Amino acid sequence: MYKEYADVKYHIGLLENRADELKLEILESQKEDKVENEFGVFNKRNKKSWTYSKKLQKQEDKLKVDKVDEQESGKAKVEISISLVFSPISYE
């Protein structure tokens, strides 16, 4: 069970890396915004990224500090869930 999980996670990583490579190739080569073929529909989309004013960045930094303060004082409510963390020894 553990070996199979490790193997699956390894192959997922390989596939995600390859998918990222292919996505870049498609974005560079696809001239149209939309390509439809037997595999599906491939749409190019614009993605916005925002850079905020120093004033707002300072407010955001203060909020981060305030959140930590509330966590440490117990004012913030915590929810705990169980998850599995896997660290591979090697991929061979």
pLDDT value of residue 67: 97
pLDDT value of residue 25: 96
pLDDT value of residue 88: 79
Q: Say how far apart CA 6 and CA 90 lie, in whole Å.
A: 10
40 part of a folded domain: yes
Number of domains in the chain: 1
91 part of a folded domain: no
pLDDT value of residue 84: 86
Phi, psi of 66 (to 5 degrees): -60, -35
Q: Find residue 25's DSSP bridge partners.
A: none
pLDDT value of residue 11: 96
Place of tokens 């490790």: 6
pLDDT value of residue 92: 56
Walking along the chain (92 residues) 10 residues at a time, the average pLDDT comes out as 94 96 95 93 95 98 97 96 85 57
Look up the domain containing 6 and give its range.
2-73
